[in-house]
Structure formats: structure tokens, C-alpha cells
Amino acid sequence: MEMGQGIKPLLPGSTIGILGGGQLGRMIILEGKKMGYRFVTLDPLDDCPGSQVADRHITAGYDDLEAARLLAESSDLITYEFENVDDAVVKVLEKDAFLPQGGELLRITRHRVREKRALEAAGVPVAPYRAVQSREELLSGSEALGFPCVLKTATGGYDGKGQWVFQSMAEAEAFTQLEPGREYVLEQWVPFDKEISVIAARSIMGEVAIFPPAWNIHRKQILHQSIVPAPVESGILRHAEDLARQVAEGLNVRGLIAVEMFLLHDGSLLVNELAPRPHNSGHYTLDACAVSQFEQQIRALSGLPLGSPKLLTLAVMVNILGEDVDRVRARMTDFPPQVKVHWYGKRESRPGRKMGHLTVLGESTEEALATVCRLELMEPTTRRGVETIR
Ligand code: AMP
């Protein structure tokens, strides 16, 4: 599809199909309904965050081609809320429906080696790495990259799953879990100062808008909180935004691209990972920006002008995981007015499962972080944020 040529914007009243009914789908729908669109979701679960707010729901597996065809028939435009979309389903959707994001970006972003090569081709810096498929490649790669280094499965890993850190050649040699036929990437360990992320939107007309960079702090490999704007020098913020734009244009993105980066001690940035969809670190946009990442995705894909990504107020977003639910519920009747709570409607709570999030707004980052601490939502790891930015 040529950018912007002969494309008629998809106007309110049209139906948008979403592959996946998790919280990202739910928040796309909640925002899109305000804009006048109708929604149909496809998810294996009957009662999921997306189906609860969609106009129609198809209960089926993500690899069910008949269900994909039904979604195609029912929708004027199709999008997805996760990148591991089955290849055969992508083909059906590209052929039978309007899938403006296309299949190519999915093919790239669900495979770490392809992703790194595409980033390099776009002139975007990444950590030194080697593609690995055998023990020989693991050992020669370790030798070349030095220690520590981290081995990741090329596909299917998330939130730190499918990753192993080697401190020495002895540890790499002792590693016996390489699966034959599976692809991996070995990366040099990057002693980063901060992890930041930037969400860029690029519309099917070719317009680009960049949301302010967030500083992300993880707990047990899961995003814990995002602080926005990331408390770094303005030159670094601008550089991060420029890199996100370079990724959006270089990879011919349509829709959203979340760009996760490492900020090194010397102020340089390396891109670690991409997600071609709304991102957890962009949830703050719902309460703190002129337009949310979810509304922006719909504008980008439907061919409407992009909205302003301007930050209206400083924000700290905190994820509510299964283990936090009872504490948050017990305290939320006393939350101050600058705290906005979002629940995803999941019936079953499990440790590590994302059940909701809250956004704390503030006049300053210190004030917002102090409010987070006062809420005593979880262990005092949040205090780390306050200490580090001083
Ligand atoms: P990923 O799944 O690639 O986002 O990795 C999960 C987490 O592991 C990241 O958020 C980082 O905290 C850490 N990590 C991943 N790759 C590296 C690396 N090359 N150097 C240092 N830390 C890393």
C-alpha cells in the first residue's frame, strides 16, 4: 500500500476488528468508542477485557482461519494487540480484509534477529549481538562479545522469559538448554543507566507523531512503573524521540511502534526491542497527554490526522499486578484526586498478571513519586525512583 495515495479515511460508524481481547484491546475499544467506531474482537476467551466492551466478540483460537475470515468479513479495518500473530492468519487478513499495519512489521518484530537487522538497516544503534543456532555459534559468539552476555530465544520470549545470562566462558560451556532447530540471539550485556521507551505513531498518510519518552523501572522482569517525562537531559530526550521517528520511518510503520531503549552512562542510546502496538509504558498517555496512544493508533490506521502527543501534566504510571490487587482495593477509597485507577476487568487474579494500572499526576516528578510512596501500594521499591532522580 502506498502511503496516503487514494486512501479515504475510515470514518466513525465503521467497524474495527481487533485480534486479541486483552487489556490493550480493551483500551483501544474504550478510546475508539468515544470516537464513534464499532468494535469486534477475536479471542479464545469468552469473557476477556476486550469482549466486555466490544460490540461483538468471536470466541476462537488465534490460529483459527475460519474465525479470522469471520473477523475479516465483520470489519472495515483490522488491527492486533500482540505481535505473535500466526502467519497463516496474517495472510488471510491481508487478502480478505484491510490490515493497514501489514504483515511485514509483524514478521520483523516477532523475531529478535530480524528486528536487530532491520534496526541496523535503518541506521539505528543496537547492542553488539550474534545470531546463534548451535553450541559452536554460542561459544564463538560469547568469545567475540565478552562477558557478561545474554542469550535470548529469537521468538516467543517475553518479560525476561527465555533468557540466560552468562558471566564466564565456563558458564556458556556448561549451558545445555539450546534446543535443536531453535533460533537465538546472543547480546553483549549493556551496563545501562536507565531503560526508556518512546512510542511513535505513523499514519497511513505518512504523518508521524512522537509521545514523550518514559523511564521504565521493572520488578521481577515485569514493568513496574513508568515516569514521564524520563528525568534525563533535554538533549537525550530529543535524541530518543529522533530515534523513534527514525524507526517509524525506516521500518515503514503504519500505526504505533513502541521503541524500548537503553540509556548508557555516556548519554548514548541503544534500541533493545520494538512492539508494533500500544505499549504498557504508554498507558500514562490516557491521563497525561492531549491524545492517548490508543486514540492515536485509531487515528493513524483510519487515516485521520494524528492528534497532539503533548504532555499536559507530569505522570507516574504504576502497574497493578495480581499480588497488588488486595492492597490497592483496600486503599483506593482514600486515594487523592490526582490518582487515576484503571482496572482491566479480568476475573482471575494471579501473581505477575497485569490486572490494572494507576496514573499519578503531579506538578513535579518528585511530587508524583512521593504520592506513589504514600499510597503504599507495594513494597518500597518505588522509592528507588525518588532517590535516583536526585
Ligand atoms: P527484553 O526481553 O529484551 O526486553 O529483556 C528483558 C530485560 O532484561 C530488559 O528490560 C533489561 O532490563 C534486561 N536486558 C535485556 N537485554 C539486555 C542487555 N543486552 N544488556 C543488559 N540488560 C539487558
124 is in an annotated binding site: no
Q: What pLDDT, on a 0 to 100 scale, did the predictor assign at position 333?
A: 94
In a domain, 349, yes or no: yes
Among candidate residues 80, 99, 118, the one where a domain is terminated: 99
pLDDT tens-place string over residues 142-159: 999 999 999 999 998 766
The mean pLDDT of the chain is: 94
| Burial bucket for residue 346 (CB in 10 Å: 0-12, 13-18, 19+) | buried
Residue 164 annotated as binding?
no
**Looking at the structure, do residues 62 and 41 belong to the same domain, yes or no?**
yes
Structural domain range at position 88: 15-99
- Hey, what's the torsion of the CAs at 237, 288, 363, 368, to 10 degrees? -90
Quick one: residue 22, left, alpha or beta (phi over 0 = left, psi -120 to 50 = alpha)? Answer: beta
The predicted-structure confidence for 63-114, as pLDDT tens digits, reads as follows: 999 999 999 999 999 999 998 899 999 999 999 999 999 999 999 999 999 9
* 344 and 330 housed in the same domain: yes
Does one domain contain both 271 and 330?
Answer: yes
Task: Tell me the residue type at 388.
Answer: T
Q: Per the structure, how many domains does the chain have?
A: 3
Sign of CA dihedral 329, 331, 333, 339: negative
| Residue 345, helix vs strand vs coil | coil
Nearest atom in ligand 1 to 158's CA: 2
Q: Which three cell numbers stand for residue 351?
A: 501473581
Do 184 and 215 belong together in one domain? no
pLDDT at 383: 44
Distance 230 CA to ligand 1 centre (A): 18
Residues 28, 297 contacting (CB under 8 angstroms) = yes
Last residue of a domain, one of 188, 212, 238: 188
* Shared-domain flag, residues 162 and 197: no
Residue 122 inside a domain? The answer is no
* Beta carbons within 8 Å of 101's beta carbon, 6+ residues apart: 79, 80, 253, 254, 255, 276, 301
Rounded Cα–Cα distance for residues 228 and 221 (Å): 20
Q: Is 273 annotated as a binding residue?
A: yes
Is 160 assigned a ligand-binding role in the annotation? yes
β-partners of residue 56 are 40
Alpha carbon of 2 to ligand 1 centroid (Å) = 35
CB 286 within 8 A of CB 327: no
- pLDDT in the model for residue 1: 55
Closest CA to ligand 1's atom 4: 273
Question: Closest Cα to residue 296, out of 349, 256, 325?
Answer: 256
Residue 361 sits in a domain whose CATH number is 3.30.470.20
59 and 132 belong to one structural domain:
no
Cα separations in angstroms, 41 against 55, 135, 183, 196: 8, 43, 32, 31
Q: What is the dihedral of CA 220, 224, 228, 233, to 10 degrees?
A: -20
Q: Are residues 336 and 276 in the same domain?
A: yes
Q: How many residues does the chain have?
A: 390
Q: Work out which ligand 1 atom sits closest to the CA atom of 112.
A: 3
Spatial CB neighbours of 98, under 8 Å, sequence gap ≥ 6: 10, 75, 76, 77, 78
**Judgement on whether residues 223 and 353 belong to the same structural domain of the protein:** yes
Structure confidence by residue, pLDDT tens digits, 21-74: 999 999 999 999 999 999 999 999 999 999 999 999 999 999 999 999 999 999
Contacts for 285 with CB less than 8 Å, ≥ 6 apart = 199, 211, 291, 292, 293, 294, 296, 309
121 in a structural domain? no
Give percent helix, percent strand, percent coil of the chain, each to the nearest 5. Answer: 35, 25, 40
The one-letter code for the residue type at 318 is: V
Provide the angle, in degrees to the nearest 10, between the axes of the packed helices 23-34 and 293-302: 70
Q: Give, as one character, the DSSP assignment of residue 53.
A: T
Q: Which residues of the chain have pLDDT under 50?
A: 381-390
Within 6 A (CB) of ligand 1 lie: 127, 150, 160, 187, 189-190, 195, 218, 272-273
Q: Give CA separation, 355 vs 39, 61, 77, 319, 326, in Å.
A: 22, 22, 28, 8, 11
